[in-house]
Structure 1
Amino acid sequence: MRITAACHGPECDLGAVDLSDHDFYATGDPHPVWAHMRRHAPVHLSTLPDGRSFWSVTRYHDVDAVLRDHTRFTSSKGTLLSVLGGTDPAGNKMMAASDPPVHTALRKPMSKVLSHRALQPHNPQVRRVVHRMLAPLLDGGVWDIAEAGARFPMAFTGTLMGLPEEDWEQLARLTTAAIAPQDAGYRRSEGHGTLAAAHHELFAYFSGQVRRRRRDPGDNLVGFLVGMEADGRALRHDELVYNCYSLLLGANVTTPHAVAATVLALIENPREWDRWRAGLSLTSTAVEEGLRWSSPANHFMRHATRDMVLRGQPIQEGDAVVAWLGSANRDEEVFADPYRFDIARSPNRHVAFGFGPHYCVGAPLARIALGALFRVLVPAVERFTLAGPVEHLASNFAAGIKSLPLTARLSPEAARAIGAAVAEDGPVIV
């Protein structure tokens, strides 16, 4: 998805825009549309040609209200536009597709093993992954950071979940196909065939993993889920499969797109790159700005549990309500100069990980991974240069870049350090 640096130009015709269209995010630009909606139609009803409809919410505080209040907006009927008008089979079985108390019972034990403190022992593994990810820069050739980034999370999430390394590349591809089924690089058939096939393969894979962990749990996240109790009972087989899928999907659609979009923003704003290289203490705030800027999870959907009025619009019980995170993170009422990439931005209460009870349980892992990557990347690379066209992912959910070819000029010290780390640790699938 293109990330507009500023919104100028004529007002748009909302009747001619389909925010559910995957291709719009590959070839179009939603930011002028969202800016128009924030100004003139912050709660807007879209009706698709097949009769399905959804309300779009684009202002920060309205997005907050929709995502935070599960009593008025339920997650149990589906949280993505891909299930609009249908029934989500994972409803009240998967943490992401449930409301309290079911959601709370699932989340509480998971949040303990995915907390920042619990993940600290894995920092050396993440750093090793970062060094090996950067190894192609050593020969001075073209390096596609988007392609490398797409496989980046698997190298530590796969390890955390206890998934065999030889499966990582295929799992990364399947999770992307699940959120970008209309993208030419992932589409297998017309209609919903690609999505159905990706889900079938992922669910079958995790079904096998769950059966294996029942015999030998091991010290990994899948084994933890198998032995976990929610509200005093063990999880059923289908609940285990859905939640394994959800954890992997969340990792694979957030971190890589934040990496590519942040690097592209730094190429387009070289002063910020120089500023960051001059002060690595800015890494934490810079990572947060990269998350705000990229907003990798583009939307979350809820359904109204009762009739209500939101900003003067009558919403009926059962209506689908879509909260656009990318728009909320550019809301002029909350962010000063929101179309400026500022690595020292403060305050920066972005919503890249959502709001409220469904705030991303994997956020600590994403922050650890992004921080580790940029703490190596920023001092290592003196300058990035684009080496080809930027290609955007056709997905209404993931604001993704699927190709970002670069060349880089490494500092001599960084080149030696990366080379030594790679020589010591050996190859890995990234």
Structure 2
Amino acid sequence: MRLTVPSGLPDADLTAVDLFDPELYATGDPHPLWLAMRERAPVLRQTLPDGRGFASVTRHADVRAVLRDHTRFTSRRGTLLSILGSDDPAGDKMMAASDPPVHTRMRLPLNSVLSFAALRSREPGIRDVVRRLLAPLAAGEPWDLAVAGAGFPMAFTGALMGLPEADWPELTRLTTMAVAPQDPMFGAEADDGSLVAAHHELFEYFAGQVQARGERDDLVGFLKRMDAGGRPLRLDEIVYNCYSLLLGANVTTPHAIAGTVQGFIDFPDEYPRLDGDPDRTTLAIEEGLRWASPANHFMRYAVADTELSGEPVRAGEAVVAWLGSANRDERVFDDPYRFDVARRPNRHVAFGTGVHYCVGAPLARVALRSLFGEVVDLVERFHPAGPPEHLKSNFVAGVRSMPVTAELRPGAADLLATATAGAGPLPELPAR
């Protein structure tokens, strides 16, 4: 999705807005539409040709209200537009598709193994992966940051889950296919065939992983042993949550990387402000998360009649919260269309909010801090080496191709060569 700066309040025909269409996020530009909606139609309804409908909210306050208040807006019936109009079969089985107290029983044990403290021991391994990822920059040739970054999360999430490294490229492809089934690079089969196929293969894979393994000290083993409110998880619950955890990692981290680097390129005065101070790098990462907003939307269903921004919302109505819009809301962010590496405060909702705040956020932040800590030490400046290509998806604001070159700091090329000597490259995505 393009990260553009609207000029003035757009005179958009809001009756013709189609936020469901994944093509809008591949070749169009939702930011002027969201700006107009925040000002003129904070609750905007859309009916699809097949009769399904939903209400969109675009203001930061409304997005937070929808995502935080599970007593008014339930996750049990589905959280993504891809299953609009049908009850989610993962309801009350997958943490992301449940409400408290079911959600709480699953989440609390996972919090303990996905906290910053629990993940600290993995930082050296992640830094090694980062050096391998960045090694091609030493050649000075165009390097596709998006393609390289797509495999990055598997090197820590796949390892944390105990998944065989040989499987990582195919799992990356399948998770991308699950969120972008209409993208010609990953799916584009008719009648949602790509989505069904991706789900089937991923569920079958995780069922095999769970049933085949004995006692293992990894995240899948933890889910098998986990006490979820006085009982163990069933096989289907373990499979659904393995799918959700892997999907969350693979569709967020790579696009946060691409969006942050795009911010450095589009606002060239910002990157030089980073001087290696970890606190400044952390602020820049949070701004990158706001800027990219990789998870584009989450959906809920209204439990009872209520209202948002003074507009009525009916019981049973699907409500879609657009995170990319909330993260540009002028009511919350000063100069929201400026990429500011020192932005503070930064109340972005890139990881959601409330009880469903992304359980994997600490892991994503550890990985991003490791990566951009190395980037700041090694790279003087990034340059575009071709136009980016955007993912065709209404859920993930993603980049599927982003060629760049980099001016390295003195000694960086030798450091990369030394650090990667004897280490093989990260696995690449399989050809489709």
Question: When the two structures are superposed, what TM-score results if normalisation uses the length of structure 2?
Answer: 0.97
* Identity level (%): 63
Provide the rounded CA distance (Å) in 2 between the counterparts of 1:68 and 1:360: 12
Provide the rounded CA distance (Å) in 1 between the counterparts of 2:103 and 2:7: 38
Q: CA deviation at 1:274?
A: 1.2
Partner of 1:337 in structure 2?
335
Partner of 1:171 in structure 2?
171
Given that 1:353 and 1:363 are in contact with CA atoms closer than 8 Å, whether structure 2 keeps it comes out as: yes
Provide the rounded CA distance (Å) in 2 between the counterparts of 1:124 and 1:179: 31
Partner of 1:288 in structure 2?
286
CA 1:91/1:330 → structure 2, altered by over 3 Å: closer, same or farther?
Answer: same
Q: CA deviation at 1:426?
A: 4.0
Provide the rounded CA distance (Å) in 1 between the counterparts of 2:416 and 2:408: 10
Match of 1:412 among 410, 413, 418: 410
Q: Which amino acid aligns with 2:36?
A: H
Partner of 2:107 in structure 1?
107
Deviations, residues 122-171 of structure 1 (Å, cap 9, x unaligned) = 00111011000011112111100001111110111110000000000000
Report the secondary structure of 2:65's partner residue: helix
Report the secondary structure of 1:385's partner residue: strand
Partner of 1:237 in structure 2?
235
Q: CA deviation at 1:278?
A: 6.7
Partner of 2:265 in structure 1?
267
Report the secondary structure of 1:229's partner residue: coil
Q: Which amino acid aligns with 1:107?
A: R
Provide the rounded CA distance (Å) in 1 between the counterparts of 2:59 and 2:222: 38
Provide the rounded CA distance (Å) in 1 between the counterparts of 2:404 and 2:3: 18
Q: CA deviation at 1:10?
A: 3.5
Given that 1:388 and 1:405 are in contact with CA atoms closer than 8 Å, whether structure 2 keeps it comes out as: yes
What is the Cα-based RMSD across aligned positions, in Å? 1.2
Q: Which amino acid aligns with 1:378?
A: V
2:208 is the counterpart of 1:208: yes
Unaligned runs of 5+ in 2: none
Partner of 1:372 in structure 2?
370
CA 1:101/1:14 → structure 2, altered by over 3 Å: closer, same or farther?
Answer: same
Partner of 1:321 in structure 2?
319
Provide the rounded CA distance (Å) in 1 between the counterparts of 2:152 and 2:83: 28
Report the secondary structure of 2:45's partner residue: strand
Provide the rounded CA distance (Å) in 1 between the counterparts of 2:85 and 2:151: 32
CA 1:326/1:384 → structure 2, altered by over 3 Å: closer, same or farther?
Answer: same
More displaced stretch, 418-427 vs 57-66: 418-427
Deviations, residues 250-295 of structure 1 (Å, cap 9, x unaligned) = 0001100000011011011111111124755410100000000000
Unaligned runs of 5+ in 1: none
Report the secondary structure of 2:270's partner residue: helix
Q: Which amino acid aligns with 1:117?
A: A
Q: CA deviation at 1:190?
A: 1.2
Provide the rounded CA distance (Å) in 2 between the counterparts of 1:344 and 1:317: 42
Partner of 2:43 in structure 1?
43
Match of 1:393 among 391, 394, 399: 391
Provide the rounded CA distance (Å) in 2 between the counterparts of 1:261 and 1:51: 35
Provide the rounded CA distance (Å) in 2 between the counterparts of 1:278 and 1:284: 10
Deviations, residues 213-272 of structure 1 (Å, cap 9, x unaligned) = 3xx131110011011110110111100100000000000011000000110110111111
